[in-house]
Amino acid sequence: MTGCSDEAIVERVKSGETDAFGLLVQKYQDRVYSTILNYVNSVEEATDLAQEAFVKAFFALKRFQGSSAFYTWLYRIAVNTAIDYLRKRPAVRIDSLEDDRFREAGFEPAAGRSADPEHALALKEQKQLVRDAIAALSEKLRTALILHDVEGLSQEEVADILNCPVGTVKSRVSRARSELRVALEGYLDGG
Amino acid sequence: MESDCRNVAALISDFVDGSLGPREQALVASHIEGCERCRREVERTREIVARLDSLGGNRAPLYLWPCVARRIDERRTRRSLSSRFRIMPGWRMVLIPAAAAAAVAFFLLGPMHPAGPKLPQSPAAVAQASAELSAYMQAYSQFRSAQPLSDRAAIAAAAHLEREDAPPR
């Protein structure tokens, strides 16, 4: 049953077999959740929005023509759900990543880093700071970066999801990385 | 050298991804061997990419399907209810006379607004307007009882409700 292709499951759902949609949820819930989490930075909100994205996908399924892969279509819904939510949510943008915030989180400059027993905790907090730096990017750069560098989708897949040329994705990813390099200046091994 | 660095800077992201053509890949590799600044940029970019990679692959904290299924059911119920209320004939029958009464009342009371029409000047005119309103309401009421499903939307609504209420074959 779980070996069914996405297209076959989609057809079953379209023909009224609602429970078959559960197979798609099971298959893609981690990817949808993970993508949304990287937008909203909150487990609770990401769980809620992931559910919402699947509900939207379910009701929109009758309009899904299969011109793109189901999962890229689903990613598109997930990304739009997260972006719509962020547009409505009071802004929590990080305008600048002050040195003090980095140090408080144990994000030491690479030169002064040591094998501290608290390193694991610091690492977790550092991840949060990278997430904050991502949150400070523009919507377009952030989306390309999350899909390509965080979720590991190919440039072609990202282009399909965003409905734009591959060259645009390359350029956005490159600019996003460049902005992150500047934002995290002094805290990277290469610095 | 400076212009080489600018050219290379534009290629660093793709170089790190390994998505350059063989000639460009070799060009950047050769340049960063002799250029400390560009080499550092490549290393920083690699670290950024590694850190970003570590943010992915999060697992959903619970199996989402039961929650998603419940939301789907709730939304279906809500949609069904709202569609019934939107087309229910009785609902229209309350709204239409109410709108008509409001229109007549506005006609009569309009002169309270400085730019509105004048009030009927004589008691006879007021009585006539009231009589017209009563007659309209009475006629509508008779019409409603005699032909409750006389407009197209109401007929469609009745058919829809019949279909929904029909027992399964």
In three-state form (DSSP H/G/I as H, E/B as E, the rest C), the secondary structure along B98-156 is HHHHHHHHHHHHHHHCCCCCCCCCCHHHHHHHHHHHHHHHHHHHHHHHHCCCCCHHHHH
Q: What is the ipTM of this complex?
A: 0.78
- The pLDDT tens digits of the residues spanning A68-98 come to 899 999 999 999 999 999 998 876 544 333 4
What count of CB pairs under 8 Å joins A to B? 121
The CB-side HSE value for B88 (13 A sphere, CA atoms) comes to 10
What's the number of domains chain A is made of?
2
In a shared domain, residues A84 and A11: yes
Q: Are residues B104 and B153 in the same domain?
A: yes
pLDDT at position A74, please? 96
| A contacts of B15 (beta carbons < 8 Å) | none
For B71, the closest chain A residue by CA position comes to A55
Task: Look up tokens 């793709």; give the residue.
Answer: B14
A33 and A116: one domain? Answer: no
Query: What pLDDT shows up at residue A15?
Result: 93
Same domain membership, residue A142 and residue A76: no
Q: Which pLDDT tens digit goes with each residue over B73-121? A: 999 888 877 766 665 556 666 677 778 788 877 777 665 555 545 555 6
Q: Do A88 and A118 share a structural domain? A: no
Q: Is the pLDDT of residue A111 over 60?
A: no
Which residue among A61, A92, A123 closes a domain? A92
Number of separate domains in chain B: 2
pLDDT at A95: 38
Q: What percent of chain A has pLDDT over 70?
A: 81
Q: Do A26 and B46 touch (CB under 8 A)?
A: no
| Chain-centroid distance, C-alpha B16 | 42
Residue of B88, B89, B91, B104 lying closest to B137 (CA atoms): B104
A177 touches chain B (CB under 8 A): yes
A32: domain range? 1-92
Higher pLDDT, A101 or B37: B37
Residues B19-48 have pLDDT tens digits of: 999 999 999 999 999 999 999 999 999 999
Residue (of A90, A187, A172, A100) closest to A137 by Cα position:
A172
Q: Which domain holds residue B51?
A: 2-55
* B62 within domain boundaries: no
pLDDT at residue B156 above 70?
no
CB B39 within 8 A of CB B69: no
Rounded Cα distance, B47 and B33, in Å = 18
One domain for residues A3 and A56: yes
User: What CATH number did the domain enclosing A28 receive?
Assistant: 1.10.1740.10
CB B119 within 8 A of CB B64: no
Q: What is the pTM of this model?
A: 0.67
Residue numbers in B near A149 (CB within 8 A): 48-49, 52-53
- Structure token digits, residue B93: 């029958």
B59 or B121, greater pLDDT = B59
Predicted pLDDT of residue A76? 96
Q: Which of B44, B53, B57 has its CB closest to that of A149?
A: B53
Residue ending a domain, among A29, A59, A92, is A92
Of B35, B37, B36, B46, nearest to B13 by C-alpha is B46
Q: How far apart are CA B154 and CA A21, in angstroms?
A: 36
User: Which residues fall within 8 angstroms of residue B11, CB to CB, at 6 or more apart?
Assistant: B20, B24, B27, B28
Q: Which of B33, B55, B77 is the last residue in one of the domains? A: B55
Q: Which residue, of A27, A61, A92, is where some domain finishes?
A: A92
Q: Looking at the domain assignment, is residue B113 inside a domain?
A: yes
CB atoms within 10 A of CB B24: 15
Mean per-residue pLDDT, B139-143:
65
Lowest mean pLDDT among A16-30, A32-46, A106-120, B40-54: A106-120
What are the Cα distances from residue B159, in Å, to A83, B85, B92, B103?
Answer: 41, 14, 16, 31
